[in-house]
Amino acid sequence: MKTLDDLLAEGVSGRRVLVRADLNVPLDGDKITDDGRVRASVPTIKKLVDAGARVLVAAHLGRPKGGPDPKFSLAPVARRLGELLGQPVELGAQTAGDGSVVLLENIRFDPRETSKDEAERGALADELAAKADAFVSDGFGVVHRKQASVYDVAQRLPHYAGGLVLAEVQVLHKLTEDLQRPYVVVLGGAKVSDKLGVIANLLTKVDRLLIGGGMAYTFLKAQGHEVGQSLLQEDQIEQVLGFLEQARERGVELVLPVDFLAATGFSADAEFDVVPFDAIPADRECLDIGPKTRELFAAKLADARTVFWNGPMGVFEFEAFSGGTRAVAEALVASDAFTVVGGGDSAAAVRALGLPEDGFSHISTGGGASLEFLEGKELPGVSVLEG
C-alpha cells in the first residue's frame, strides 16, 4: 500500500491531488457541534498544501435524498476547514493555484456516488479522476463503502493512503493480529442488532466482554429479568441467548450491568432512582448504568492490556445520565493498556465530556468501518489501495 509519504517523495508541486476526506460532522443549523473529523483531516491536507499541491477535497455530509439539499451543504465545513488551515477553502468544483484547497460540494448530492450500479459509479469516478493527477484516501469513516469517491476513483488514479487511513489500519491490525492480553471489549449504544456480527466475531477473540447502554436490556430480558420501559429489541432475544451460550462455551467473561438509573421518562431533568438489575420497575426507563456497575466495569478494565470501546453506556447527552459513559472513559484514561475508542458516539462522548483525547491510545474516526473490520469483513476502500 503506497502512502502519503510516498506521494510527497515523488513530488506534488503544481499537481492536482484529490483527497477523499471524512467531514461528516454533526450540525445544528449551520453550526458544527463537533469538529473532530474536520480537525482529523487537517494533517494530510496541510502536508499536501505545504508541498505545493493543488488540493481538491471530496466528502459527504448526512444522507441527502439523491439531489442537492441546502441543509446538507458542506459550506460550514469549508469555513471551519479554512480556519484550521489558516487559508481560504473555496466551496466549488475547480482547483485553483499551487498550495490551494477547494472543497467539492457534498458528493452525495450526486446519486451516482452511492449507486449499486458499477457503471453509474464509474461514470462519476471518471469525472472525478479527470480533475486530478493522484488520489489520496484519508476518510476512514467511509472505507467500508464501495462508493465512487472511495473505491472506484482509486482504480482510475495513482492511489495512496493518507495519514489518517494508515493510522487506523495499523491500529486495527494491532487489535486483531498483534494484541496483548487480557483483551477487553466494551460495547454500548442503543441496539444489539447494530452489532450482531461484531459480537459474534469478538466472542472468538476476546477474554472479557462488557455490555452497557441500550443493548444491555435485551441481554437482561433474555435472562428473564423485567426491564420496564427501557430500550428493548424483543426480536433479538434468541440471538442474545446464543451469545450467552457461546460466551460460556468459549470461557469468555461476559459482564452485564448490576444496577441502573431508572428514570420516570426520557428527558434531561427526569427524576430517577438507582435500582438493581433484577428490580427495574415496570413503569421506569433506565437511562444509564448505576454506580455499582461503574465500579464493576472499572475493575474489569484494570488488568486489561488491550481495550476496544464502542458505544456510550447511557444517554450521555443528558448531564444526569452521562456518569456511566464518563466512568468507562476515565477507566481507560487511567489504564496502562492499549486503548482504542471506536469512533461514532463514543468519540463524540469523549469530546462532549471534556476528557483528554491524548489519554487514549487511539480515537477512531470511523465507527462503522472499525466495527466491520472487527466483524471480519473486508473494507473495500482499503483493499483497493493495496492493489
Known catalytic membership, residue 174: no
| Mean of all residue pLDDT scores within the chain | 94
Known catalytic membership, residue 37: yes
362: part of which helix (H) or strand (E)?
strand 362-363
Q: Which of 15, 20, 37, 294 is catalytic?
A: 37
The count of other CB atoms within 10 Å of the CB of residue 97 is: 8
Look up residue 150 and give its amino acid: V
With cut-offs at 50, 70 and 90, classify the pLDDT of residue 191.
confident
Determine phi and psi for 340, rounding to 5 degrees. Answer: -120, 125
First and final CA of the chain: distance in angstroms? Answer: 7
12: helix, strand or coil = coil
- The C-alpha cell at 92 is 466549488
Q: From the annotation, which residues make up the binding site? A: 22-24, 37, 60-63, 108, 145, 195, 317, 343-346
Cα 288 from Cα 62, distance rounded (Å)? 28
Pairing of strands 159-161, 134-137: parallel
Segment 200-222 shows an average pLDDT of: 94
E runs forming strands in 229-315: 253-255, 259-263, 272-276, 285-289, 306-310
- How does pLDDT run across 8-24, given as a tens digit for each residue? 999 999 999 999 999 99
Residue pair 190/205 in contact (Cβ under 8 Å)? The answer is: no
- The C-alpha cell at 7 is 506521494
Q: Which of 52, 368, 376, 377 is catalytic?
A: 368
Residue pair 283/270 in contact (Cβ under 8 Å)? The answer is: no
Reply yes or no on whether the pLDDT at 92 is more than 90. Answer: no
Q: Which of 212, 311, 314, 344 is catalytic?
A: 344
With cut-offs at 50, 70 and 90, classify the pLDDT of residue 65.
confident
Cα 385 from Cα 161, distance rounded (Å)? 7
Would you state the pLDDT for residue 78?
97
Would you state the pLDDT for residue 338?
96
The full 3-state SS of 115-152, as one line of letters, equals CCCHHHHHHHHHHHHHCCCEEEECCHHHCCCCCHHHHH
Handedness of CA 62, 65, 66, 69 (dihedral sign): negative
Known catalytic membership, residue 344: yes
Q: Which of 46, 156, 174, 191 is catalytic?
A: 191
Q: From the annotation, which residues make up the binding site for ATP? A: 195, 317, 343-346
Known catalytic membership, residue 368: yes
CA atoms within 13 A on the CB side of 56: 24
- Reported residue count of the chain is 387
- How does pLDDT run across 287-311, given as a tens digit for each residue? 999 999 999 999 999 999 999 999 9
